Amino acid sequence: MEIKIDSCKHCGKGFTFDSESVPRYRVDAAPLVIVYVLDCVNCGRQVSIDIEQSYDEFLQEMKESEVPDGMKRCPDCAEFVQEMARVCRFCTYRFGEDN
Contacts of 24 by beta carbon, 8 Å cutoff, 6+ apart? 34, 35, 36
pLDDT digits (tens, 9 = 90+) for 57-71: 777 776 777 788 999
Q: Rounded to an integer, what distance in angstroms lies between the CA atom of residue 80 and that of residue 88?
A: 9
Please report whether residue 74 resides in a domain. yes
Instruction: Collapse the DSSP code of 9 into the 3-class scheme (helix H, G, I; strand E, B; otherwise coil) and give the result.
Output: coil
Range of the domain at 6: 2-54
Contacts of 4 by beta carbon, 8 Å cutoff, 6+ apart? 14, 15, 16
pLDDT digits (tens, 9 = 90+) for 16-46: 988 777 776 656 565 677 788 889 999 999 9
Clarify whether residues 43 and 7 are in a common domain: yes
Please report whether residue 97 resides in a domain. yes
Domain count across the chain: 2
Please report whether residue 61 resides in a domain. no
Clarify whether residues 15 and 47 are in a common domain: yes
What's the predicted TM-score (pTM) here? 0.49
Instruction: Note the pLDDT of residue 64.
Output: 73
Please report whether residue 60 resides in a domain. no
